Structure 1
Amino acid sequence: MPARRAHLAPQSSHGELAEALAALRTEFSVPEAFPAAALSEAAETAAPEVEFDLRDVPFVTLDPPGSRDLDQAFSIERAGSGWVVRYAIADVAAFVRPESALDLAARDRGQTLYLPDGTVPLHPRVLSEGRASLLPGADRTAYVWTVRLDDAGAVTGCDVRRARVRSRAQLDYPSAQRDIDRGTAAAPLALLPEVGRARAEQERLRGGASLNMPEEQITETPSGYHIERRFPLPVEEWNAQLSLLVGIAAGEMMLAAGVGVLRTMPAPSTEALGAFRTRVAALGEPWPAGLSYGDYLRSLDPASVRTPAVMQAAAALFRGADYAAFDGTPPAETRQAAIAAPYAHVTAPLRRLVDRWGLILCAAICADTAVPEWARASLPQLPELMRASNQRAAQIGSAALDRVEAALVAERIGERFTAVVIEVRGERARVQLVEPPVTAQCPAAGAAAGTTIEVRVVGADIRTGTIQLELA
C-alpha cells in the first residue's frame, strides 16, 4: 500500500493561499453563524427518555484522529458460526424539533462542509461535538441497529430501535490498524476484520465494487497548508463495510414498507461498459473476459502508473448519484449500482441532513408505528435539499484543492516534471505530476492515457487555482 505523503505549499505563498481559501466562504455563500434561536435549542432541548437500556453493550467509536462529531459506535460479538453486529447512530432527532429554528438552519445547510481553514457544521458544535456526539463514557440516546449475520456475512435478521448507550472508547484509524496488525486489538475491534472481510465478500458476490480512490486531504498547520493523498487503511475499509451493511438494511426496509428516501445510482449501460473495456485495454490493463467488474478493480496494483487512469475511467462509469423519496409507489431506480443493492443514508445524522429522516422512518417501520406526519410530508423536499448541498460541497472541495495545488508549483515556473496521463479528451490531456502529485491539463499532442510524459509549468495562479502546463 502506498505510504501517506504530505506536500507543503511554500511558506512564501502562505498568505496569498490563506486569502484565496478564505474567499471560498464568500464565493460559495457558505453559511457561518447559526441564528440565536437555533443555538439556544441546541444547548437546551432535553433528550427524551427511552425504554431500552443498552449501556452494558461494549460500544466503541472508530474515526479519524481528533474527531469530535462521532456519529456511529459499533459492537460485534460471535453468535454460533456467525456474528451479531450492533451499530449505534447518534440520536439527532432527539434534539431537533420539526420546523424549529434548528431544523430550518440544518435544512438550509444540508451537510457539514469541510474547508481547509475549518469545518462549517450542519448543527451547532454544542450538539454535533457535544450533546449528541457518541463521546466515550457519556450516556447518550441512539438508534441502535442489531444485524445478525451468518458465517458468510449474509444478513439473517435486522431491527432498529432507540436505546440508551455508552461508548467505551474512542478509537482512531492509525492506532486501531496497529493494534490489529500486532494482534493486540481488544473486543470488539478484534472482530472487525472478520466481519469486514465477510461483508466485502458479500459485496463481491452482489457484483458491487468499492473504488477505494486515494483520498485528498488539505489541512492547515502552523507551517502552512498541507495536501495529502493516500489510500485508506484496511481498518477504514472494514469500518466502511459496517456503515454499508446498515445503509443496505435501511434501503431494503424502506422499500418493503413503501416509504422512504433512497440513495440511488443507475447502472452503466452496455455501451459504456464496452467503451470501458476498450479504454482499459488501450491502457495496458485489459479486463479479462469472465472476471467481474469489481474483481477486476480489486486486482489492480495501486502502485502502477496505469492505475490512476483506469480508476478515472471506472469512476466515469458510475454517474448520476441522486436521492429518491417515495411514499407508496417505489421510484423507478431503487438501487445504488456501485453497491449493487438498495441503499439509504442513515449512518451520519450529525453531518448529513437526510439521515435524520431515514432513521426516524426505519425506527417507526420496525416498531410497526405510524411514520410521523411531519417526516412524511417533508420527504419530497429532501432530494433537492441534498442535491444543492452536495453540489456546493463538491464545488468547494474542488476549488480548494485547485488553489492549494497551484500554490505547490507557484514558485517552480519553468521547471520540468514527470507526469502520468490520466485521460485524453480531444486536444487536451489531464495529467498528474508524480511529485508533487498535482493534477492539471496540458496539450495532448499524441499523449496516451496511462503513459508518462514530461511537462513544464508555465503559469500558476493561486487566487483562481489555475495551472498552465506545456509539453517539455
Structure 2
Amino acid sequence: MSDDTQADAGTAEGQGPVEISEELARHLENKREELFEKFEIRDEFPAGVLEEAEDRTEDVGSEIDAEVDDRRDLRELTTWTTDPIDAQDFDDALSIEEREEEYVLWVHIADVTHYVHPESAMWEEAVERGNTVYLPGYTIHMLPPVLAETVCSLVPNEDRLAHTVEMHLDKEELTYEEIDIYKSVIRSDERLTYTQAENRLDDPDAPLHEENVLVYDLAEQMHEQRKADGSLVLNPARDRAHTIIEECMLKANKAVTHELMWSRGVEAMYRVHPQPSPDEWSEALQEIQELDGVSIPGEAWDDPRKAVNATLEEAPGRQLDKIQWAVMKVMPRARYMNDPFGGHHALNFEIYGHFTSPIRRLSDLINHWIVYKNEVPEDLVALCDRASDKQKDAEQCEREYKNFLQEVGLDPMAVNNRGIEIVDDEDAEKTLE
C-alpha cells in the first residue's frame, strides 16, 4: 500500500458505519418517503429508463473505437481525476502544461450527452428530477447510476468519451487567450482522492507530483485573483486539493458560458445570482461586527464581499459559522436563466453557468447539449425554471432530513461520511450499553 493510500485509509480508521436498529431504520425510511412525496422527488427509476441505460452501456470499447476518428484523441495527454474518497462518480479530469508565455489547462468532463439526448427516456427523466439529491447516507440520482459506474466514469487506464474545455491562459493576467471546447477521447492515468493529491504535492518522487504542483500554483493564483476582484470566499481554510478542483471547475464553467455568449451568440442556461440590497448587506456586516473577537477591517467596508473575506481570514475559528450564516441570511437565491443579465453576485462574474457536472445537474446537461449542437432547446426558459425549482426542493429536503436525523439522535455528518449499518435490535441495544 502506497503512503498516500495509507493516509486515506487512516482518515477512516476506527470510524466504521453508524450502527442503527431495524426500528430506527424504518423510521428513517418513512421520513424519506414523506419528504419525497412532499417535494415530489422520484426515488425509483421507471423500468424503461433503466433498460435504456443498460442498453447504452453495453459494448463500451467498440463504441469508443468507432468514435475516435470523429474526436480529438487526447489519450497520450497526462490526465487524472481528483475526488473525495467516497465519490460515487468520477466525471471530471484535469491536464495541464506550462509553456513559455501561457498555461494550458484542460478540463475533461464525461460526455454524458453522447448517451443522454432529448429523444431519450433518460433525458426526459433528468428533466423530471432536475438534479441528484444528496441526503446523509442516501442518494437519489438524476441519471441511472449505471452511467456513472461505467461509460461516464473517467476511471484510470480505460478509454472514455469526454467533452473537453481547453483553456490557454495568459501567465500574467490569467485571462483566456484562447478557449476551445470539443468532443474528445481521453485515458486517465490515475484516480486520486483529495488526501492522495495533498500527499502528491509534498512528495517530489511521487507520480503526478509536478503536475499537481503546477496546477495548484495556477489554482492558487486564480483563487487570489478572484478574491482581489471581489469574489466572495466563505471557506478560507479550504485545503490545496479542494482549491485545485474548485478553481479549475470555476474557470471551465466561466469559459464555456463566455464562449456561448460572446463567440457564438446563443442562449444558454446561465447561473444568475442577484445581490442583496445595500440595507441587507449593512445588516449582515453590522451583525458580523458585533460578534465577540471579530472586527471588520476599516478599508474593506466599501465592498461587502471583500469585507467578509478579510474578516473570515482574521476571525477566531469559533465565529466562522456565525459570520457565514449572517451572510447567507441576506443572500437571494441564485437561479438558472436564459439571459445572464445581472451576473453572479457572490462570484462577481458578469457571466456564469454550469458545465462540469452533467451527471448530477440538469443545467450542465442542457449546456453540454447547447455547446455540442449550437442550438437551444425550444423550452429553455421552462427548463431553467425547472432546474431552479428542483434545486430548491432538493436543498429543503436535505435540510429537513438532517433536522430529523438530529431529532432521533444521529449526527448527519457522521452518517454522511461513514454510512449506516443496520443491526438487529438486540445488537443495537448492546452498542448503547
TM-score range normalised by the length of the shorter chain: 0.7 to 0.9
Tell me the alpha carbon deviations over residues 31-71 of structure 1, each in whole angstroms, 9 at most, x when there is no partner: 23322222222222356723321111111111111324111
Question: Mapping of 1:115-126 within 5 angstroms?
Answer: 115-126=135-146
Counterpart of 1:203 (choices 226, 231, 247) is: 226
The answer (yes or no) to whether the contact 2:271–2:354 under 8 Å persists in 1 is yes
Amino acid in the other structure paired with 2:380: L
Please identify, of 166-175 and 48-57, the stretch whose mean Cα deviation from structure 2 is larger.
48-57
1:260 equivalent in structure 2 = 268
2:318 equivalent in structure 1 = 305
The answer (yes or no) to whether the contact 1:154–1:199 under 8 Å persists in 2 is no
Q: Distance in 1 between matches of 2:45 and 2:309?
A: 44
Please identify which structure carries the higher strand content.
1
Amino acid in the other structure paired with 1:345: H
Q: Distance in 1 between matches of 2:21 and 2:298?
A: 51
The answer (yes or no) to whether the contact 1:283–1:306 under 8 Å persists in 2 is yes
Amino acid in the other structure paired with 2:272: T
Q: Distance in 2 between matches of 1:310 and 1:7?
A: 31
The answer (yes or no) to whether the contact 2:203–2:209 under 8 Å persists in 1 is no
Amino acid in the other structure paired with 1:265: H
Instruction: Count residues in correspondence.
Output: 377
1:319 equivalent in structure 2 = 332
The answer (yes or no) to whether the contact 1:134–1:167 under 8 Å persists in 2 is yes
1:164 equivalent in structure 2 = 185
Tell me the alpha carbon deviations over residues 214-266 of structure 1, each in whole angstroms, 9 at most, x when there is no partner: xxxxxxxxxxxxxxxxx643311221001100111122223221411101101
The answer (yes or no) to whether the contact 2:32–2:401 under 8 Å persists in 1 is no
The answer (yes or no) to whether the contact 1:53–1:164 under 8 Å persists in 2 is yes
Q: Distance in 2 between matches of 1:18 and 1:115?
A: 14
The answer (yes or no) to whether the contact 1:10–1:407 under 8 Å persists in 2 is no
Q: Distance in 2 between matches of 1:386 and 1:18?
A: 31
The answer (yes or no) to whether the contact 2:220–2:243 under 8 Å persists in 1 is no
2:357 equivalent in structure 1 = 348
Question: What's the secondary structure of 2:217's corresponding residue?
Answer: helix
Counterpart of 1:25 (choices 32, 43, 49) is: 32
Tell me, yes or no, if structure 1 residue 189 matches structure 2 residue 212.
Answer: yes
Identical counterparts, % of pairs? 25
Tell me the alpha carbon deviations over residues 350-406 of structure 1, each in whole angstroms, 9 at most, x when there is no partner: 111121121222345xxxxx42xxx42131222222123212211221122112222
Name the CA shift for 1:406/1:95 in 2 (closer, same or farther; >3 Å): same
Q: Which runs of 5+ in 2 are unaligned?
A: 1-10, 57-62, 415-433
The answer (yes or no) to whether the contact 1:68–1:133 under 8 Å persists in 2 is no
Name the CA shift for 1:352/1:44 in 2 (closer, same or farther; >3 Å): same
Q: Distance in 2 between matches of 1:39 and 1:311?
A: 41
Q: Distance in 2 between matches of 1:340 and 1:288?
A: 21
The answer (yes or no) to whether the contact 2:272–2:341 under 8 Å persists in 1 is no
Displacement, 1:75?
A: 0.6
Question: Mapping of 1:132-281 within 5 angstroms?
Answer: 132-152=152-172, 153-183=174-204, 184=206, 186-212=209-235, 232-256=238-262, 257-281=265-289
Counterpart of 2:55 (choices 36, 41, 44) is: 44
The answer (yes or no) to whether the contact 1:10–1:408 under 8 Å persists in 2 is no
Q: Which runs of 5+ in 1 are unaligned?
A: 214-230, 365-369, 411-435, 437-472
The answer (yes or no) to whether the contact 1:277–1:286 under 8 Å persists in 2 is no
Q: Distance in 2 between matches of 1:248 and 1:310?
A: 28
Tell me, yes or no, if structure 1 residue 287 matches structure 2 residue 296.
Answer: yes
Q: Distance in 1 between matches of 2:44 and 2:96?
A: 39
Q: Distance in 1 between matches of 2:410 and 2:49?
A: 43
Question: What's the secondary structure of 1:408's corresponding residue?
Answer: coil
Q: Distance in 2 between matches of 1:288 and 1:102?
A: 51
Name the CA shift for 1:178/1:51 in 2 (closer, same or farther; >3 Å): closer
Task: Normalising by structure 2, report the TM-score.
Answer: 0.79
2:368 equivalent in structure 1 = 359
Counterpart of 2:99 (choices 75, 79, 93) is: 79
1:405 equivalent in structure 2 = 406
Name the CA shift for 1:360/1:138 in 2 (closer, same or farther; >3 Å): same
Q: Distance in 1 between matches of 2:285 and 2:132?
A: 37
Name the CA shift for 1:298/1:182 in 2 (closer, same or farther; >3 Å): farther
Name the CA shift for 1:7/1:281 in 2 (closer, same or farther; >3 Å): farther
Q: Distance in 2 between matches of 1:101 and 1:134?
A: 23
Q: Distance in 2 between matches of 1:247 and 1:130?
A: 24
Counterpart of 1:62 (choices 82, 89, 92) is: 82
Root-mean-square deviation (Å):
2.7
Tell me, yes or no, if structure 1 residue 111 matches structure 2 residue 134.
Answer: no
Question: What's the secondary structure of 1:65's corresponding residue?
Answer: coil
